[in-house]
Amino acid sequence: MIKTQLFCNDLSCDSRSVGPPASTSTTSVVADTGATGNFGTTDLPVINKRPTTKPIAIHTANGGIMYSTHEAELDFPDLPLAARHVHIVPALAEHTLISIGQLCDAGCHVAFTSTTVTVSYQDRDILHGKRSPDTRLWQFDLIAKHKQTAMSAVGSATPAELVAFAHATLFSPALSTLETALTKGYLTNFPGLTRTTLKKHPPRSAPMVKGHLDQKRKNTQSTKPKPPKEPEKKKASPPDLDTFPLASTEQRCHNCYVAVMQPTGQIYTDQTGKFIQPSSNGNNYLIILYDYDSNGIFAEPMKTRTAKSILAAYRTLHTRLCRAGLRPRLQRLDNECSAILKEFLTAEDIDFQLAPPSVHRRNAAERAIRTWKNHFIAALCSVDKDFPIHLWDRLIPQAEVTLNLLRGS
């Protein structure tokens, strides 16, 4: 017990009251110039109420001693924090005591008249009170100043809402893709989004469906009769470990190697078709670049598919790769390549190979374009319904980041 010499000289202090007061609502507090701290009753409206680790002993004017049980702050945010600290004293039977000295030490100014009391802080009136004709004491009416109102409260988001929000922020990926990314630890900084919450609250997302409407694979629901299965051959039973001869300690049965693999520097590029509407910046197309070493997909908008526009977009992507330490060494692209692009590749010491006509699988950018289109269409469907479509190129940075986060690039 901390026996601090604290005092209050108000007549409302009753050291004979040893328990909580009757369940009466305390609506006023007394301005006490003799109290060395704020002392409140148990029903005082406070915030951050906590059991005290250092109880204090309060000496009253009639010689009694009261003890504090809790600490808290007055629910009055306009006052400075030092002035709001209050000790909860169950032995206070009727009134809460506000220390004028504590208010002044916290930087407040207190002005008394014959009938009123005013507390100001930083040239702004904070508290007002009147003098009681019965007790002749100045009292603050905290309820009148800090009105208690009932409004529609905005509660914390539910787990399902957190999952749905994170799913939309990632531009509505397929649930299997999102689950794989969570399992591999690619997404660790999305509050409320875990593999468990995703499986428990899978979002019903229309943008996800619209963005990933691919054709079904062949023979998934075929009506053709399946060929009869050959009878499985009986497998030989494993040898008994007790009778199996152990290898000699000198014989090496496992070999471990450490290999250092140099970056290949392979990149693949291709252009998309024309977007449904030109952007406000005049862009109509996209060039998609797939980097083999980082497994990253990059996108850069273009205004036209002329050689100059393609070269300008390619220069931007090339600069980004070099800054990230992924300098290209081998460029694979379609069988169409302008002369100025070939000159740029030669100047940057980049070897290039053209894919044969009609052999699209030779260029990995073709598959990257399909992945990008699915993700970007879902992104366009995830935004607000009044989103201006001519701002579609402003979504490219977020679409690129979210796509590569999901793919573990």
- Residue 231: pLDDT band (50, 70, 90) is confident
What does the pLDDT read at residue 21? 36
Question: Which of 103 and 358 is assigned the larger pLDDT?
Answer: 103
- Spatial distance between the Cα atoms of 31 and 104, rounded to a whole number of angstroms: 12
291: enclosing H helix or E strand: strand 285-291
Q: Are 182 and 194 within 8 A, CB to CB?
A: yes
49: enclosing H helix or E strand: strand 46-51
pLDDT tens readout for residues 178-192? 999 999 999 988 888
- On the question of pLDDT at 63 being above 90, the answer is no
pLDDT tens readout for residues 8-31? 544 444 433 333 333 334 446 888
Q: Are 9 and 36 within 8 A, CB to CB?
A: no
How deeply is 2 buried, as exposed, middle or buried, from its count of CB atoms within 10 A (0-12, 13-18, 19+)?
Answer: exposed
Q: How many CA within 13 A on the CB side of residue 241?
A: 0
Average pLDDT over every residue of 212-218: 76
- Spatial distance between the Cα atoms of 268 and 288, rounded to a whole number of angstroms: 8
Q: Does domain 2-145 match CATH 2.40.70?
A: yes
Average of per-residue pLDDT values in the chain: 81
- Domain 266-407, CATH number (from 3.30.420.10, 3.40.50.2300, 1.10.560.10, 3.40.640.10): 3.30.420.10
pLDDT tens readout for residues 259-268? 776 778 899 9
- On the question of pLDDT at 7 being above 80, the answer is no
- Residue 310: pLDDT band (50, 70, 90) is very high
Domain boundaries, given as residue ranges, for the chain: 2-145, 159-211, 266-407
What does the pLDDT read at residue 361? 72
- Spatial distance between the Cα atoms of 119 and 108, rounded to a whole number of angstroms: 7
- CA 100 → CA 9, 30, 63, 349, distances in Å? 13, 10, 22, 80
